Amino acid sequence: MDENRFDDVLQDLPRSFNAPPEPPLDEMWTVIEDAHFNAPVPISATRGMTSPAPWLAAAAALIIGIGVGRYLPRGGNLPGNAASPTAIATNPASATSDTSAVADAYRDQTTRYLGQAAALLVSLPAKDANGRTDAAFASKATDLLVTTRLLIDSPAAVQDPKLHSLLEDLELVLVQIARLRSERNRGDLDLIHQAVEQGDVLSRLNSAVATNQSSD
């Protein structure tokens, strides 16, 4: 094939390569509308404000806060103070070590959470599991969902794009698992397994846990 012929081939590509048919707009919208607007569990739009149970968000925030606090050095500054310009100006070395302690604390909490999420996904039942099992998983997923949404905005995720992307994928999977409470969503287990596999979520989870533990 000569140069001119190749140019013709390139110009003809929009017609010759996978020319799309008319999009089935109404058909696709029905699925999207049902998944988003008719979903029993509100998705990220309500993150941190009207999560499945508001008290659960408060409890999760408290647990993460206490967890972070336990890892901070005695007499250390609070996260807000650690980054304050006055504190850094008066004692730069202390400010740096406090910031690093906060990061360590968030990392430890994140590692623990990732381990719990991995355990949940590994033990996720097959599609023929009974309703009671589904409800137990849905409940655990709802707890983890609250923590996920808090961690997505935490310093641990903000500073680590890989972790941030993993948490976002996990959020979607957990939303699906949380919906298993509803009778009509029982058939979604297959889709959940698919989502976990396609996003390579489990191996990314294990690798994140391993990375965090090795940097301890």
Partner 1 sequence: MPFPVSNLTENGGDRDQRQIYDRVNETQLIARVIAGDRLAGRTLYDTHAPRVYSLAYRLSGDAEKAREFTQDTFIRAFSRLSQFRGDAAFSTWLHRIVVTVVSNARRSELRMAREVLLDEAHSIEFSAPEAEPDLKECIARAVDNLSDAYRMTLIMHDIEGYTHAEIAGILGVPEGTCKSRLSAARAQLREKLAAFRE
**How far is the CA of 146 from the CAs of 52, 86, 87, 118, 169, in angstroms?**
8, 34, 32, 16, 14
Nearest to 141 by CA among 40, 62, 36: 40
Which residues 6+ apart lie within 8 Å of 92 measured at CB?
Answer: none
- Among 172, 182, 193, 207, interactor with partner 1 by CB under 8 A: 172
Q: Is 43 in the site for partner 1 (CB under 8 A)?
A: yes
- Tracing tokens 């983890």 back to the chain, one arrives at 144
Q: Is 55 in the site for partner 1 (CB under 8 A)?
A: no
Only segment of 2-10, 65-73, 77-85, 137-145 that touches partner 1 (CB under 8 A): 2-10
Q: Is 10 in the site for partner 1 (CB under 8 A)?
A: yes
> Residue 117: in which H helix or E strand, if any?
helix 92-122
- Tracing tokens 């997505």 back to the chain, one arrives at 152
Shortest spacing between CB 182 and partner 1, in angstroms: 16
Measured in whole angstroms, how far is the alpha carbon of residue 190 from the centre of its chain?
19
Only segment of 9-17, 98-106, 126-134, 202-210 that touches partner 1 (CB under 8 A): 9-17
Only segment of 1-9, 51-59, 91-99, 129-137 that touches partner 1 (CB under 8 A): 1-9
Q: Is 175 in the site for partner 1 (CB under 8 A)?
A: yes
Given the rule CB under 8 A, which residues bind partner 1? Answer: 1, 6, 9-10, 13-14, 16-18, 20-21, 23-25, 27-29, 31-33, 35-37, 43-47, 168, 172, 175, 197-200
